[in-house]
Amino acid sequence: MHTRIRAAAVATGIALAASATGTAHAEDPVTGERRTLVVVVGFQDAKFPDTDLVKEYAASSYFGGRKSLAGYFDKVSQGAFTYVPAVPEKVVGPYELDLAQKPCNAGQVNSATQKALEADGYVRGEDYDSLSVIQPGKGSDCNWSGLGSMPGPYTWVSLVGQEIGEDLLVHEFGHNQGFAHHLREKCAGGDLGDCTTGGTSGKTPMGGGGAGVGFTAPELISRGWLPGGQAVTVEKSATYELAPLYGTKDGVRALDIPMGEDRLVIEYRHEDATYSNRYGTLDAKVEGVHAYRVPEGSYTGSRLIDTTEEDGGGDTDAITRLTDTTHRIEVEVRASGGGSATVAVSLNGAPAPSGAVTAPGKDAEAPAPQERSGEGEPVSEDGTDADAPADSGDGNDDGNGVAEAAAQDGENLADTGGDSATLFFAAGGAALVALGAAGILRVRRNRA
C-alpha cells in the first residue's frame, strides 16, 4: 500500500547516461497500454494555490475519455495503443521537492520526483512505465510549457493556471514515441532532387498541427499502426485508390516507395467525422494527397514534401505530381476528394496503368515498424528548434526560432528559439545527460 507523503527532502545531481543505439527495424508493432504516473510537485518557494483543482484537470486531460491524451492515442493507433493511469486516483501528489523553483532544471526535478516516489513506494517498472511531472510555472524562469524525452518515458509540464491543453500533451508524448519535430521540404516544381528545408508541416502534432490533426503516415508506420495491408510497399508501377488515413473506410491508406537510401511515403488526408475533440473533428483542416521523404528509412524523422511557392496549410500544399529523375520515380494524383484519391506510381520508367486501379495482393509487403532504441536518445535537428505543437497549421515557422506553441489553456504562443544553452533529458532511471536543444524538445511557456 502506498503511503501518501507531502514533503521529500531530496538531494539531486546530474549523471551521464549510457549511449543509446541507433534506430533499427522491428517486426512487432507498438501495442498495449502504457501505465503513466502523473505527479503534481511543488518547490520550496513555489506551490500550486489549489492542488486539488490541478489534479482534477490533469486527470481529465490525460485520461478523460476520447477528448484526452489517452483517447487521442487510442484513436490514431486504431485501438492498438494508449496511455492508462498507473494508479486508481490517476494523479498523485503534491510532493514538495527540496528544490527552489529557480534556476529551471528539468533534470533535477525528474530525479527528485523519482526519489520522492520511491520513498512513497512507487517504483518505475513495477508500479509505472512512464512518468509525467506537473510543476508550478508561475514565476518560473523555465522557457517552456512542456518537455518530452525522445524516445523515453519522461514528460514535464510547467503549468501556469490549472488546465493542461491536449495539444501540449499529445506533442510531448509524441516525443516519447520517438517522433521528432516535423518540418517540410520545399521542392520546386515537384522535383525531389531540388529541395530545401522549410517551416513546420502542419500535418501532425509534431509539426504545428495540434491535436486537431492526426500523426502522419510515416509516424504511424514507425509504430506499426497501419495494420492489415493499410500501408503497402510499392515494388512495381501501379495505380492505387487510397482511403483516408483516418476513418472507417477500408483499403490502402499509405504507399511506401523505395527511393535510394530514402523512402517516399504517400497518404490521403480527409476529415474523420467519427472522432472529435475540443479542436473539432480530426483532420478537418487537412485535405488531399500528401508526400513525405523518409531519410534513410527513419520514419520518425520524415519531412513533408511541399511543391508550392509559399508555406501553406490544409490542401494548399497537397501534391499533384512528383518526379525523382535520379531514382526514376514519378507520382501522379489522378483524382482526389470526397473521401478517396487515385494515385499512379511509375517506377524505373514503366508507366502506371491508365485504367483500372491496381489492388495490392494479400501478400503485398508492408513497411516494417521501427524499434525505439534506448531512452532519451538525442535526435539531430540540423540546428533548428522548430517546436510548434499548436500553430495555425499553415507551416509559417521557419524552423529557426519562431513557431506558435500550445499554452496550457489552449491559446497559441510564439517564439521557441531557446535561450537555455543546456537542457537535460532522462535516459534511464534517474540517469541524466546534459544536451543542447536537440535532446529535449521544448515548448515556450505562457508568461502571462
In this predicted structure, what is the pLDDT of residue 60? 98
Q: Which of 328, 30, 15 is nearest to 173 (CA)?
A: 30
pLDDT at 309: 81
pLDDT, position 368: 73
Q: Where are the alpha helices (H) located in 43-161, listed in sequence order? A: 51-63, 69-76, 106-119
- Given the DSSP bridges, would you call strands 146-148 and 154-159 parallel, antiparallel or unpaired? antiparallel
CB 410 within 8 A of CB 165: yes
Q: Secondary structure of the chain: what % helix, strand, coil (to 5)?
A: 15, 30, 55
Torsion of CA 386, 382, 214, 296, to 10 degrees: 180
Return the residue matching grid coordinates 533499427: 24
Write out pLDDT tens, residues 252-291: 999 999 999 999 999 999 999 999 999 999 999 999 999 9
Give which of 178, 208, 242, 192 is closest to 378, Cα–Cα. 178
- Going by their DSSP bridges, the two strands 288-294 and 262-269 should be labelled as antiparallel
Alpha carbon distances (Å) from 96 to 99, 135, 146, 225, 322 = 8, 10, 20, 39, 56
Q: What is the pLDDT of residues 38-48, one digit of tens each?
A: 999 999 999 99
Burial status of residue 266 (CB atoms within 10 A of its CB: 0-12, 13-18, 19 or more): buried
Non-local CB neighbours of 300 within 8 Å, separated by 6+ positions? 23, 177, 178, 179, 180, 218, 219, 222, 370, 379
pLDDT given at position 8? 39
Please report the pLDDT score of residue 315 as a whole number: 82
- Positions of the chain with pLDDT under 70: 1-27, 311-312, 356, 358-364, 370-448
pLDDT at 360 (0 to 100): 64
Q: List, in sequence order, every residue forming a beta bridge with 201; answer none if it has no partner.
A: none
Domain range list for the chain = 7-178+373-443, 183-370
What pLDDT is recorded for position 411? 27
Residues 376 and 138: their CA atoms lie apart, in Å, by 27
What is the helix (H) or strand (E) element at residue 28, kind and residue range? Answer: none
Angstrom distance (rounded) from CA 318 to CA 184:
12
pLDDT digits (tens, 9 = 90+) for 48-80: 999 999 999 999 999 999 999 999 999 999 999
- C-alpha separations of 371 from 26, 27, 147 in Å: 5, 9, 22
Fold of 7-178+373-443: Collagenase (Catalytic Domain) (3.40.390)
User: What is the pLDDT, as a whole number, of residue 188?
Assistant: 84
Cα–Cα distance for residue pair 385/381, rounded to 1 Å: 7
Question: Using omega within 30 degrees of 0 as the cis cutoff, is the peptide bond preceding 151 cis?
Answer: yes
Q: How far apart (Å, rounded) are the C-alpha atoms in residues 100 and 207?
A: 33
By three-state DSSP, how is residue 117 classified? Answer: helix
